[in-house]
Amino acid sequence: MAELTNSWIKQIKVPAPSLKDNTADAERFKKAVKDTLGEQLIDIDIYLLAKLPELIRKNNLILRCIFFKDHNKWHLAGITGRDTDTAAGLAVDLGTTTVVLRLLNLFDGRTLAEHSFSNPQISIGPDILTRIHFAEKENGLISLKHLIVTGINSVIDKLCKSCKIMPSDIYLISVAGNTSMTHLLLGLNPYYLIREPYIPVINRPGCQNARELGIKANESAKVFIFPNTGSYFGGDLMAGILYSGIRHSENTSILVDVGTNAEVVLGNNNWLIACAGAAGPALEGGVTKMGMLAGPGVIDRISYDHRTQSFNIHTIEDLPPLGICGSGLIDLAAALFLSGMIDIRGKFVPGACKNRLVDKDGIKRFVAVFAKDSATGYDLTIGQADLDSLIRSKAAMYTILETIASYVGISLSELFTFYVAGAFGSLIDVRSAITIGMLPDLPESTYKPIGNSSLEGASMILKDCKLIDEIDTIRNSITYVELNVNQDFMNRFSAARFIPHTDLSLFPSVHF
């Protein structure tokens, strides 16, 4: 693999000392850095300083240095010899539920290893609010910080072993997480984050020292923490915006990330507008909580074959079906609607459902998979309540999209690209989501699933030193809009509670 063009690793040629110029090693080095970067180095820490004289002399004045930068300040994260090529970076997607670590080579950008694990703070509470309250207790904050740092460190060990490097070979770390998780990692109390007027301890933590955070890496390693604009708009989204490239086009695009919250950014190279989170009770529990979690044997795709009047079912790893996950549920709802088995309100139509509508303990349920075909030996069914919940969620999602678009006076149909991040983006069938009116009726090619955009954004800044300034630009461009559940919002929400929508002209491609 070719060396990166804008690598953080730069070759620095230190001028030789002489009797005529007895300037100290540190000052000659700093001058050489200035001549190379065109900018002043903010500091050489005491650990690197102690090693500098031997490094300069053993490498005949030519050093490979690893830099990092925040807010126009250049930091020195490490110095390696001329011929060393073991310098790793670590990108961290710091999720409330799942944490993903990716180790990469800072010379060529190649991914060395990657591992995803459950956030160990789940032992305190699965949701962030429980953890924030726990942080108020004595030693609560310390325990939470310890849990996440220990978790990260043990995975760092694992990753390093798997590719035969040492944790001390890690020089740069970038962390994209929501505001609360970022606070907990830094050991900052998120107490005021959840209390009016919702104030973070810090918006732009910039580069921190890995050793001070307790993260297992080189003793001079720097940790760049993606900034936030407040409690509800965190570094994970900043990384996602960076990765999407939404800011590089004059055409207005949208980025949607449905994780614990639904987070939406709309914008172009001139402006960015964002909203997130508490969009009313319907989205609490959100689309990711519908059905069961994706896993082997779980139905993730369903389509209806009108000719044979049967469902084509796909399960993960092609095992006998065990249950149904969110994306399968959206497919199922779309199929039921297109076949007339549910009406525009999402209610079962008994005449169309025929023998698939059965009575379980006095409640009507729809059989997606009959007992003979299921892995459980029982019918796999969904009830009216499951459908109602899905419809509330899809209505909330559509309402949020409509509201933010109307806020800047554009129509959803004008969107140039619709980036869908996260598991939501990679799992759902866009056609089904359009059919039930969860996503707007745009050509399917407009939709672009972008996977774990936090992790990708965090990786990007390790590979391209020119990108780091863009993060501040992104942060400063964002207008954050609090979505008020006002009459306007409620009207839109009510209209979106039909399949696909009360206003059918918004969904011309959906024929039923």
Q: Give the binding site for its own copies (CB under 8 A).
A: 17-19, 22-27, 42, 45-46, 49-50, 52-53, 186-189, 191-192, 196-204, 208, 212-213, 228, 230-231
Beta-ladder partners of 80: 64
Among residues 2 and 19, whose Cβ is nearest to its own copies? 19
Q: In the complex, what is the shortest distance from the CB of residue 229 to its own copies, in angstroms, rounded to a whole number?
A: 8
Nearer to its own copies, 203 or 491 (CB): 203
In 3D, which of 481, 502, 482 has the Cα closest to residue 491? 502
Among 32, 72, 73, 74, smallest CA distance to 52 is for 32
Question: Residue 217 Cβ, how far from its own copies at the closest point, in Å?
Answer: 16
Minimum distance of its own copies from residue 496's CB (angstroms): 28
Determine the Cα–Cα distance for residues 344 and 351; give it in Å rounded to an integer.
15
Residue 403 tokens, joined: 């509201």
Q: Please, is 233 exposed, middle or buried when counting C-beta atoms within 10 Å of its C-beta (0-12, 13-18, 19+)?
A: buried
Identify which of residues 152 and 324 has a Cβ nearer to its own copies in the complex.
152
Short-list 327, 329, 283, CA closest to 425 = 327
**C-alpha to C-alpha distance for 478 and 387, rounded to whole angstroms:** 36
Instruction: Look at strands 111-118 and 98-105 and give their pairing.
Output: antiparallel
Of 404, 417, 406, nearest to 250 (Cα)? 417
Residue 256 is encoded by which pair of tokens?
A: 């949607």
Minimum CB–partner distance for residue 16 and its own copies (Å) = 9
- Cβ 471 to its own copies, closest distance in Å? 15
Minimum Å gap between C-beta 64 and its own copies is 20
Comparison of 469 and 482: residue with beta carbon closer to its own copies: 482
Report helix angle 453-463 to 235-244, nearest 10: 70
Between 70 and 331, name the residue whose CB sits nearer to its own copies: 70
E-assigned strands of 97-157? 98-105, 111-118
Judge contact between 371 and 271, C-beta under 8 A: no
CB of 461: closest distance to its own copies in angstroms? Answer: 20
The residue (of 122 and 485) whose beta carbon lies closer to its own copies is 485
- Residue closer to its own copies by CB (options 65, 442) is 65
Instruction: Look at the chain and count its residues.
Output: 512
Cα torsion 274, 424, 90, 67 to 10°: value is -30
Is residue 235 within 8 Å of residue 182, measured between CB atoms?
yes
- Would you say 117 or 134 has its CB closer to its own copies? 134
CB of 281 to its own copies, least distance (A): 22
Residues 6 or more apart from 32 whose CB is under 8 A from it?
A: 12, 13, 14, 15
Smaller CB separation from its own copies, 200 or 259 = 200
Q: How far is the CB of 57 from its own copies (least distance, A)?
A: 8
